[in-house]
Chains A and B, each alone.
Chain A
Amino acid sequence: MSELSVLHYRSGSSYFHRMDARFKLLGLALLSMAGLQAGTIGLGVLSLLVLAVFFITRLPVLDLARELRYFAVLLAFVWAARALSTPGHTALELAGLQFSRQGLYEGGLICWRLLMIACMGAGLVFVTRSSEIRWAVEWFLRPVPLIPARRISVMIGLIIRFLPMILDQARATAEAQRSRGMENRKNPVFRLIKFAVPLLRRTFENADRLAVAMDARCFNEERTEPELISRPADWAALSVVLCICGVAIGF
C-alpha cells in the first residue's frame, strides 16, 4: 500500500492527532460543504486553517504536492475552460484565444475551492489511523436504518487487505503474458480478456480460501467495540469549525 500512495497515516502526538476521529470526520464534511460555497474571504480563512494544520502537525507538504500533480492538471483544464467561456474584458490574448478577466477570476476561485477540499481530505488521512476512521464511520452509520454498519466496516477492512494482493497478482499476470509475446497481439479486446480472466479467477480463488478460513474460525459480526471518547477540546474544535463555516458561507 505504501508504494501505492503517499497518502497514509503519519504517527505523531499533535493536537490534531489526538482529536476524536468522529469530530475530525464531521469537521471535514462540514468544511468541505462550506468550502464549495465560499467566496474569497471564506477561502482565505480555510487556507489559513489548512496551513495551520500542516504547520502544527509538520506534515510532508512536498509529498502531498507531488501526489496532487495529476489533480493539478485537471484544475488547470477547468480554469482554462472557464476563462475562455466567460464573456468580459479581455485580460490576456494567447495564440488567438481570449481569456477574459472575469473568467480568470471565477475559474481561479473554483480551482482554489477544489484544491482546499483535496488538501483538507489529505490532512485527515495524515493524522488519523484508518482503523479509527472505520470506527468513526461505524458510529455514524449505526443510527441509520437499513444500513448494516458492522458489515460495512468488515468490508472496508477486507478491501484494505485485498488491494496489495490484487496488485501483486496483476503484475504477475502481466509479466507472464509479456514473456509469452502478448505485446505482438494488437487486438485490445483479446488482450483485455486474456488479462482479466486469470486475474479474476485467481483473486476469486484466494477470496474463497479466505472465506473458508473465516468460516472455519466461526467469524461473526458481533464483536467487541472500541470505545470512542470525546473531550472538551473536541467540542471546542467543532465550534471553531462551525464559526469558520459561518464565515465561509456568509461572506
Chain B
Amino acid sequence: MNPSDQLRMTVYASLMAALTAAGAFIAIPVGPVPIVLQNLFVLLSGLLLGSRWGLAAVGAYLLAGALGLPVFAGGAGGIGRLAGPTGGYLIGYLPAVFVVGLVSEKTQNRAIFDILAMLCGEVIIYACGVSWLKYQSAMTWEKSMAIGMLPFLPGDVLKIAAAIPIAKAVRPVVQRARG
C-alpha cells in the first residue's frame, strides 16, 4: 500500500470512527423506540473498511471516548464509561468489527455472507455487553438480558437488513483507495 493510499485509509477510518460517535446522537424516529445508528456504523466499519482498518476505526473511537471526548451515547465520556455498566458493549465492538471485516473479506463481499458476518458481530457485542452488565450490576442472567439485550433486538434486525444495500452503495467509493 503506497503512502497516499495509506493516508486515505487513515482518513476513512477516522471518518467511520466519527460516524460511530455521531451515531450515538443521530436517531431515526420509528415507533416507540427510536433507532440509534451507533452499532449500524460499527458493523458498516467492518463491511466497508475490512478487518484491519475497521479495527483501527473502532479502536480510535474507543480511545477518543476513554480520553473524555464526548463521543459515547449520553455525552458523559471518560475511562469511567468503559468501566461502567454499559462498557461491555463498547469493548465488544472491537472483536465484533474485526470478525465482521474478516468474514466479509474472505467471502468477497457476497450479501449472504455479509449477513452472516453481521450476525456474528451482533452475537459478540451482546456476549460482551450482557456479561459485563451482569458482573457490574450483579443482576441475574435473565434480568441482564431483559434489560440489556431483548429491547434492542428488533432494531438490530432492521439495521442488518438496511446495512446490506447501504454497504453495496458505498463500497465503490471506499474500494478505490483499498485497491
Q: Nearest chain A CB to B172's CB is how many angstroms away? A: 10
In the complex, the chain B residue whose C-beta lies closest to that of A159 is B18
Verify A158–B18 contact, CB threshold 8 A: yes
CA distance A158 to B18 in the complex (A): 8
Q: A33–B169 Cα gap in the complex (Å)?
A: 44
B158 at the interface (CB under 8 A from A): yes
Residue from the list A74, A117, A124, A151 in contact with B10, Cβ < 8 A: A151
A120 touches B61 (CB 8 A): no
Q: Are B143 and A159 in contact (CB under 8 A)?
A: no
Confirm or deny: B74 has a beta carbon within 8 angstroms of a beta carbon on chain A.
yes
Alpha-carbon distance A131/B110, docked complex (angstroms) = 42
For chains A and B in complex, what number of residue pairs have CB atoms within 8 angstroms?
Answer: 205
Q: Choose the segment among A93-101, A161-169, A224-232 that binds chain B (4+ C-beta atoms closer than 8 Å).
A: A161-169
Q: Can you name the residue of chain A whose Cβ is closest to the Cβ of B139?
A: A81
A91 at the interface (CB under 8 A from B): no
A205–B7 Cα distance when bound, in Å, is 15
The 0/1 profile, CB within 8 Å of B marked 1, for residues 184-197 of chain A is: 00001101110111
- For chain B, the count of residues having a C-beta within 8 Å of the partner chain is 64
Q: Output the nearest chain B residue to A192 by Cβ-Cβ distance.
A: B162
Among A54-62, A211-219, A242-250, the stretch in contact with B: A211-219
CB-based nearest B residue for A160: B69
Contact indicator B31/A193 (Cβ below 8 Å):
no
| Complex: A32 Cα to B66 Cα, angstroms | 12
- Contact present for B79 and A121 (CB under 8 Å): yes
Contacts of A201 in B (CB 8 A): 169-170, 173
Is there an interface contact between A133 and B68, defined as CB atoms closer than 8 Å?
Answer: yes
Q: Which of A36, A117, A189, A204 contacts B174 (CB 8 A)?
A: A204
CB of B88 closer than 8 Å to a CB of A:
no
Chain B residues with Cβ under 8 A from A67's Cβ? 75-76
Asked whether B109 is an interface residue with its Cβ less than 8 Å from the other chain, the reply is no
In the complex, residue of chain B having the shortest beta-carbon distance to the beta carbon of A1:
B70
Which positions 81-111 of chain B face chain A at CB distance < 8 Å?
81, 83-86
* Given known A78-B85, A188-B31, contact A196–B166 (CB-CB < 8 A): yes
Known A81-B137, A137-B63, A155-B56; judge A32-B170 contact (CB<8 A): no
Chain A, interface size category, equals 35 or more
- Is the pair A159, B21 in contact by a Cβ cutoff of 8 Å? yes
B165 within 8 A of A: yes
The answer to whether A118 touches B67 (Cβ under 8 A) is no
**Chain B interface: which of A2-10, A12-20, A233-241?**
A2-10
Minimum distance in angstroms from B42 CB to a CB of chain A? 13
Among B4, B21, B30, B80, the residue within 8 A (CB) of A118 is B80
**Known contacts A120-B78, A201-B170; A159/B61 CB under 8 A:** yes
For the complex, is A45 an interface residue (Cβ under 8 Å from B)? Answer: no
CB distance from A22 to the nearest CB of B (A): 12
Find B26's partner among A29, A68, A134, A170 (CB 8 Å cutoff): A170
| Cβ contact within 8 Å between B10 and A5 | no
- In the bound complex, how far is the Cα of B136 from the Cα of A36, in angstroms? 9
* A10 vs B48: C-alpha distance when bound (angstroms): 38
Distance of A32 Cα from B60 Cα, bound (Å): 21
When distances are taken between beta carbons in the complex, the residues of chain B under 8 Å from A4 are 25, 70, 75
Instruction: Determine the distance from Cα of A195 to Cα of B158 in the docked complex, in whole angstroms.
Output: 14
Q: List 16 A-B contacts (CB under 8 A).
A: A1-B70, A7-B77, A74-B85, A82-B138, A114-B85, A118-B80, A121-B80, A159-B17, A159-B60, A160-B64, A166-B19, A167-B22, A167-B25, A192-B159, A197-B166, A211-B11
Q: Give the interface of B toward A (CB within 8 A).
A: 4, 7-8, 10-15, 17-19, 21-22, 25-26, 28, 30-31, 35, 37, 40, 44, 56, 59-61, 63-64, 67-71, 74-81, 83-86, 136-140, 143, 147, 158-159, 161-162, 165-166, 169-170, 173-174, 177
7 smallest beta-carbon distances between A and B, as pairs: A121-B78, A117-B80, A158-B14, A162-B18, A5-B70, A192-B162, A125-B68
